[in-house]
Amino acid sequence: MTAMLASVATMAEAQLALQAKVGILDLKQPANGALGALDRTTVRQIVQLVAGRIPVSATAGDLVMQPEIISTAVQAIAETGVDYIKIGFFPGGDWSGCIAKLAELSGQGLRLIAVLFADATPDFDIVAVIAQAGFSGVMLDTMDKLRGSLLSVLDRKKLAAFVGSAKSQGLLVGLAGSLRQQDIAELLPLQPDYLGFRGALCRQHERTARLDPAALARIRQAIAEHLPKREQHAQENVHHL
């Protein structure tokens, strides 16, 4: 079943997303980059607000790929009580050293999500390495939000290969990257575990603007309308628990 991930930056936005019955709440600060980290005080407050009703993820930030820097940031976020921690695999740096260091943290029970960037042309063979390191999931996003949506960067065939590879490794898999309402019908048949949105949920589709309740409702409804009937019923049952 494909869930809707909504990225939020404030308590007020988190409340709006909860009211819209999103599937996953993702905490980040869009003004600070593709995966800008939200301050930990706000993260803790939102985790307390959600109180386990839905999963909560938070980003580690736009960081250089150096093992100690990444590890320190991840451990700090873990202390806030989020369910998942997202780590951006940005070009350059020491990927293998970072993965080895993060494998130690996943071995301690932290649920990590590796974020690959489609516009950086990643080698998808890294998905198997990430799985072997004990990551919980992998996500495909974009760094340059001005290049258009994920589907403008990678065609559907390559996206299907990515989703298939991740699922075959037992990973949760997400697709994001300036996704628009019109992308939903094309991406849902690939059966990712979640589709991630920020800009499409904001006023004037500007990702650093505030969330728009009407846009939240439109995206949520569009996903529900394009899901197979059995998945629509499953989502309705989840939200009535």
User: pLDDT-derived band of residue 226, with 50, 70 and 90 as boundaries?
Assistant: confident
CATH number of this structure's domain 3-239, picked from the four choices 3.20.190.10, 3.40.50.300, 1.10.3720.10, 3.20.20.380: 3.20.20.380
Query: For the chain, what is the mean pLDDT?
Result: 93
* Spatial contact of 65 and 92, defined as CB atoms under 8 Å apart: yes
- Across the chain, the runs of DSSP E, i.e. the strands, are 3-8, 24-27, 56-59, 84-88, 112-117, 137-141, 172-175, 194-197
- Across 9-98, the runs of DSSP E, i.e. the strands, are 24-27, 56-59, 84-88
* Spatial contact of 220 and 21, defined as CB atoms under 8 Å apart: yes
CA distance 100 to 137: 16
- Residue from 21, 28, 101, 145 carrying the catalytic annotation: 28
User: pLDDT-derived band of residue 145, with 50, 70 and 90 as boundaries?
Assistant: confident
- Residue from 21, 86, 101, 145 carrying the catalytic annotation: 86
User: pLDDT-derived band of residue 203, with 50, 70 and 90 as boundaries?
Assistant: confident
Task: Parse the chain into domains and list their residue ranges.
Answer: 3-239
pLDDT at 239 over 50: no
Q: pLDDT tens digit string along 48-85? A: 999 999 999 999 999 999 999 999 999 999 999 999 99
| Per-residue model confidence (pLDDT) at position 228 | 67
158 carries an active-site annotation: no
* Spatial contact of 124 and 152, defined as CB atoms under 8 Å apart: no
Q: pLDDT tens digit string along 108-142? A: 999 999 999 999 999 999 999 999 999 999 999 99
**Nearest in space to 122 (alpha carbons), one of 154, 99, 155:** 154
Query: Tokens 């997400």, residue?
Result: 174
Q: pLDDT tens digit string along 175-202? A: 999 999 999 999 999 999 999 999 999 9
User: pLDDT-derived band of residue 233, with 50, 70 and 90 as boundaries?
Assistant: very low
86 carries an active-site annotation: yes
pLDDT at 238 over 70: no
CA distance 92 to 106: 23
Give the pLDDT mean for 217-233.
78
pLDDT at 167 over 90: yes
* Spatial contact of 173 and 163, defined as CB atoms under 8 Å apart: yes
pLDDT at 35 over 70: yes
Buried b / exposed e across 197-214, counting CB within 10 Å, b at 16+? Answer: bbbbbbeeeebeeebbee
pLDDT at 151 over 70: yes
The strand pair at 24-27 and 3-8 is best described as parallel
pTM of the model: 0.92
The number of helices, as runs of H, and strands, as runs of E, in the chain is 10, 8
